[in-house]
């Protein structure tokens, strides 16, 4: 049985798909978003601009030609091949020739950090990628018109949790990370949280063509998984798609979205149970350090963050605020794991976040963190979880590189 379903075996779903009808201009001003509208998952959805018959382009700098009506719907998204580097033409050609593979679709994949939650985003060709979405969503024209027009389509619960008041999502935890408007709430292919069109790949610093969706139609994906793995090598991720993460597959963490993400680097990892992961040892030895810092003592973090953390704590100490940070209530920095009850990595997995004064600063509260301490950490390149829509006042994460002298 296929993990995501095949074109022959699926019936149209009747669930409701929420579409955000707010269009965003590309510029400094944030337009006022209209409330989301409800639309059924049918193929008769009207275009964004009924008067002209052409969909409205929300972001001209990131737009591609509209996809037009879908033809040949649909393919099952059964296997995802994911690499840190672009897949070669020869590699993808060999995969397509495997008996039992019905169709393939190249895309670019990376992770972006949003409020300590690392989500997977795909840069896709909306005209061809839509064939791999669930059939009701594949046929809903407005979703793909909006992706072509520069907007983002995202799973409904995640989008509603992370969007700002104007319906935008900041793609990365860097202070100056790009923002994209949410054009549609739409269920995505398993293990992909959101999609934009391929014009966004350059803006986000993504590796072009580093992933491949594979449809096996009536063939079980397990039959071809090992054959694909032999072609791409044992270190690349070849995972069978479904509602749960394929625990047998090597996974790839490719953080993107700005200078901090670039400095952190990319690693492969294995899932070891209990919500934890094991990053590849070469990345850990190259990047993770245990060093002494003021107030907290020895910390284990990414090497790019430690100088800024040390500078922030030195200033806290020099200004007589050391008693506002409680070393016994420090909950760590490098802790490779998923966000609870998800398969989305935490920024602690990259060693660029830390939790302090835990008991009095629980999620969803204003917290007791001293605001002068918060201001000092912001000065030295950290974002504070207390500023988020769903607050996390114990949490600080690196959001820009600061030259420490």
Is pLDDT at 279 greater than 90 in this prediction? Answer: yes
Q: How many Å apart are CA 289 and CA 304, to the nearest integer?
A: 9
Nearest to 75 by CA among 142, 8, 17, 12: 8
Confidence (pTM): 0.82
| Residue 17 pLDDT grade (very low, low, confident, very high; cuts 50, 70, 90) | very low
Q: How many Å apart are CA 50 and CA 288, to the nearest integer?
A: 54
Nearest to 305 by CA among 375, 382, 379: 382
Q: Please give the distance of CA 343 from its chain centroid, rounded to a whole number.
A: 11
Is pLDDT at 10 greater than 50 in this prediction? Answer: no
Is pLDDT at 115 greater than 80 in this prediction? Answer: yes
Tens of pLDDT, residue by residue over 156-184, are 999 999 999 899 999 998 989 999 999 99
Tens of pLDDT, residue by residue over 351-381, are 999 999 999 999 999 999 999 999 999 999 9
Q: How many Å apart are CA 338 and CA 118, to the nearest integer?
A: 9
Tens of pLDDT, residue by residue over 186-235, are 999 999 999 999 999 999 999 999 999 999 988 899 999 999 999 999 88
Cβ-contact 257, 200 below 8 angstroms: no
| Residue 242 pLDDT grade (very low, low, confident, very high; cuts 50, 70, 90) | confident
More confident residue, 332 or 25: 332
Asked if omega into 74 is within 30° of 0 (cis), the reply is yes
Q: How many Å apart are CA 39 and CA 404, to the nearest integer?
A: 52
Could you give the C-alpha distances from 216 to 23, 104, 135, 249, 384, in angstroms and in order?
37, 9, 16, 18, 45
Three-class secondary structure of residue 355 per DSSP: strand
Structural tokens at position 393: 């006042």
CATH number of 286-398: 3.30.1380.10
Q: In 123-142, which positions are buried (b, 16+ CB within 10 angstroms) versus exposed (e)?
A: bbbbbbbbbbbbbbbbbbbb
Q: How many Å apart are CA 298 and CA 288, to the nearest integer?
A: 13
| Residue appearing with tokens 């030609």 | 65
Q: How many Å apart are CA 178 and CA 114, to the nearest integer?
A: 12
**What residues does CATH 3.30.1380.10 cover in the chain?**
286-398
Q: How many Å apart are CA 282 and CA 312, to the nearest integer?
A: 29
pLDDT of residue 53: 58
Nearest to 137 by CA among 57, 95, 192: 192
| Residue appearing with tokens 């912001």 | 378
pLDDT of residue 248: 79
Burial class (CB in 10 A: 0-12, 13-18, 19+), 87: buried
């Amino acid at each position: 049985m296929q993990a995501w379903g095949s074109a022959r075996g699926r019936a149209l779903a009747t669930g409701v798909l929420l579409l955000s009808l707010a269009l965003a201009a590309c510029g400094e001003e944030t337009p006022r978003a209209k409330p989301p509208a409800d639309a059924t998952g049918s193929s008769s959805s009207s275009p964004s601009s009924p008067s002209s018959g052409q969909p409205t382009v929300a972001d001209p700098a990131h737009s591609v030609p509209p996809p037009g009506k879908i033809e040949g719907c649909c393919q099952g998204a059964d296997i995802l091949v994911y690499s840190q580097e672009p897949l070669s033409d020869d590699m993808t050609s060999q995969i397509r020739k495997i008996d039992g593979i019905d169709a393939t679709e190249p895309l670019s994949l990376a992770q972006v950090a949003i409020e300590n939650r690392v989500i997977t985003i795909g840069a896709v060709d909306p005209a061809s990628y839509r064939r791999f979405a669930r059939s009701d969503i594949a046929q809903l024209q407005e979703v793909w018109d909006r992706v072509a027009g520069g907007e983002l389509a995202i799973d409904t619960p995640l989008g509603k949790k992370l969007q700002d008041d104007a319906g935008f999502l900041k793609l990365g935890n860097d202070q100056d990370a790009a923002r994209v408007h949410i054009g549609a709430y739409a269920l995505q292919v398993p293990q992909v949280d959101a999609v934009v069109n391929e014009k966004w790949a350059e803006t986000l610093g993504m590796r072009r063509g580093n992933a491949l969706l594979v449809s096996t139609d009536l063939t079980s994906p397990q039959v071809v998984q090992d054959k694909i793995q032999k072609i791409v090598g044992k270190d690349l991720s070849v995972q069978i798609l479904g509602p749960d993460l394929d625990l047998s597959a090597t996974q790839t963490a490719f953080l993107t979205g700005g200078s901090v993400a670039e400095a952190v680097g990319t690693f492969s990892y294995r899932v070891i149970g209990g919500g934890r992961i094991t990053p590849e040892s070469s990345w850990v030895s190259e990047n993770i350090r245990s060093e002494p810092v003021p107030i907290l003592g020895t910390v284990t973090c990414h090497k790019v963050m430690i100088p800024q953390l040390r500078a922030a704590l030195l200033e806290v100490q020099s200004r007589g605020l050391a008693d506002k940070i409680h070393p016994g209530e420090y909950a760590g920095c490098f802790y490779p794991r998923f966000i609870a009850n998800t398969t989305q990595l935490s920024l602690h997995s990259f060693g660029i976040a830390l939790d302090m004064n835990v008991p009095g600063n629980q999620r969803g509260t204003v917290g007791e963190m001293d605001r002068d301490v918060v201001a000092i950490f912001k000065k030295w390149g950290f974002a504070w979880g207390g500023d988020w829509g769903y607050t996390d006042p114990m949490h600080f994460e690196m959001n820009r590189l600061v030259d420490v002298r």
